[in-house]
Amino acid sequence: MKILLIHADFIEYEAKEKAIEQAEKLEKNFEKVDECLVVFVAVEKYDEKNVEQVVENLFDEINKVASQLNVKRIVLYPYAHLSSELASSEIAIKILKSAEDKLKEKYEVFRAPFGWYKSFQIKCKGHPLSELSREIRVEEVSEALRKEEKLKSEWYIIEPDGNLSKIELKEGNIIGFDFGSYRRLEKFARYEMAKSRKVEEEPPHTKLMRKLELVDYEPASDPGNLRYLPKGRLMKSLIEEYVTTKTKEYGAMEVETPIMYDYEHPALKDYLNRFPARQYKIQTPNKKVFLRFSACFGQFLLAKDMIISYKNLPIKLYELTKYSFRVEQRGELAGLRRLRAFTMPDCHAFCRDIDQAKEEIKKRFELAINLQEKFEIGKDYLELAIRVTKDFYENNKEFIKSFVKMWGKPALLEMWDKQFFYFIFKYELNFVDALDKAAALTTDQIDVENAKRYGIQFIDSDGTKKYPIILHLSPSGAVERVIYAILEKAYMEKRENKLPTIPFWLAPTQVRICCVSNNFIKDAEILSNELEKNKIRVDIDDRDLTIAKKIREAEMEWIPIIIVFGEKEKREFPNKLSVRIRTKQGDVIKEASLKEIIKYIKENTEEFPYNRLPLDKFLSRRPIFYSK
């Protein structure tokens, strides 16, 4: 769709004669509208693929401009001359009428008749925003997405002993299970059953990610593509390294594959219609391509060319995708929770049969739980969702029961009558945030289709070629979502009168030395050098501020350890230092030796990766990335 928006003193138009046989019946042939936003609209062939979304996007665009201009009247004017690829008259009228109805909820709306030759006069106001053109495009919707939107499920709560309780959502309340102390599970179940992903208010973590100078929006890019500031890039890189290390320790072989693929490749195109995701599409000099939304494409094409024996199975391939891309819908993007460009650790295991797949997925589940605990998210803030076909559930009740028993608390179970996607079993570890929205972190799936689709085979013990079962694991979930969960959890802890914290190993600054005066900067630098030798990120507040303000600002940055350095500390160094240790219950103020401080830090960081301080050591030399 192409539109031209004119902020006008007035427009007047008169219908003269029919331009097409399907012209609308005239209610009046003349209209004059003062002080209005005139929207000339050409509905195009492409718009026929997703009429509802086109109307939604048209409304959003008109509403945005009208709000900027403080306009109360809208004139919709069909104008075929904006395009040579026009939609059918029937669809064009349907879109214009639907847009009119939606706009009438907020504006006084006039619509010029469709299918008539018209004379018109218009007086444009002439300010910088008085003439705007827009192209409204809606992505193609895959078969899987269309099915997902219509998908009907039965919902249950399954307990560690295998007991199954069917639940239903009625007038916003869940009936069929007494959630008791499992209130977070209740919120998660309500969110999933309602199937609404739109964001009505800004999630708390978005303010924190900017206030802490971790991440910010990038207005020059497509929405959902963010900029990572030095502190945020450090956190992100440490998470990436830790997840990669643990996944390789599990036995995965790390590979790297392209980020774009041929849209017309037979196996890939077929897969796109079995996976519920929206793609970025690009025209290269050679072909039409799409940007990957996971590492599946590259790893499957790689596995297709491998010579595999049953003795090799399970084979595990891993890639940290920088980046994966999904064209999430407008209204669903929310800070770090839902993005269009994200970093996804992706590990596929190729298994001999369903029994080996079930055995392997349990090992991967343990890996996932351990990772989430190291991010200090853990079971208290996560809810398990299991999604299965009815056939798989009936034939594998003991497996599913053992899975929930490993989890140790009730889980949400979604059951489909038929197989809609390429997988027959899927689990997710979901984080429930401060707005009661849920986001999947870890996920794994049992895939029974893609080996055949891509031609991936192994030679079995009898010499025959067979197709493996494929597992799809993201051990941590998107790295950005891990940071989102850490920040949302901190916000919720603050609401409970606890001090918000970041896991010690992820804190951009682990120790801050606050000098009582500038006389102690050289001594503080000696102390910082000793800490740096032990791979500790330390900075020095050398600014011309009171010590009280330095401490207060360090606390606002959630610095884990603050060392106050003055005359007393200089005299007693290294045997006695004044230390403030940040804990969820409050600051612990004590005196400790340098050796004791280093021992305490090593106990909290020794199993984790290390990277140097991302900014200048001296605070006085640092730029400000975000004006608070």
Output the six-digit token pair for 147: 């099915």
- Provide the 8-state DSSP code for 570: H
Binning pLDDT at 50, 70 and 90, where does residue 507 land?
very high
Q: How many Cβ atoms from other residues are within 10 Å of residue 97's Cβ? A: 15
Q: For 417-437, what is the mean pLDDT?
A: 93
Q: Is 455 helix (H, G, I), strand (E, B) or coil?
A: coil
Give the rounded percent of residues in the chain with a pLDDT score beyond 90.
83
- Each residue's pLDDT tens digit, 453-502: 999 999 999 999 999 999 999 999 999 999 999 999 999 999 999 999 99
Report how many helices (DSSP H) and strands (DSSP E) the chain contains, helices first.
Answer: 17, 29
517-540, pLDDT tens digit by residue?
999 999 999 999 999 999 999 999
Q: What average pLDDT does the segment 241-266 reach? A: 96
Note the pLDDT of residue 103. Answer: 96
More confident residue, 197 or 221: 221
Statement: residue 179 has pLDDT above 70: yes
Kindly report, residue by residue over 570-605, the tens digit of the pLDDT: 999 999 999 999 998 888 999 999 999 999 999 999
Q: In CATH, what number does 209-257+293-487 get?
A: 3.30.930.10
Would you state the pLDDT for residue 149? 57
140 pLDDT above the threshold of 70: no
Quote the radius of gyration of the chain (alpha carbons, Å). Answer: 29
Mean pLDDT of 133-139: 81
The domain locations on the chain are: 2-135, 209-257+293-487, 504-621
Specify the CATH number of the domain 2-135.
3.50.80.10
Flag whether pLDDT at 141 surpasses 70: no
Distances from the Cα of 293 to the Cαs of 30, 148, 150, 479, in angstroms?
Answer: 51, 17, 22, 14
Superfamily of domain 504-621: Anticodon-binding domain (3.40.50.800)
The residue with greater pLDDT, 420 or 400, is 400
Asked whether residue 264 carries a pLDDT value surpassing 80, the answer given is yes
| CA 230/CA 126 separation, integer angstroms | 44
Total-model pTM: 0.80
What DSSP string runs through 358-414? HHHHHHHHHHHHHHHHHTT-TGGGEEEEEEEEHHHHHH-HHHHHHHHHHHTS-EEEE
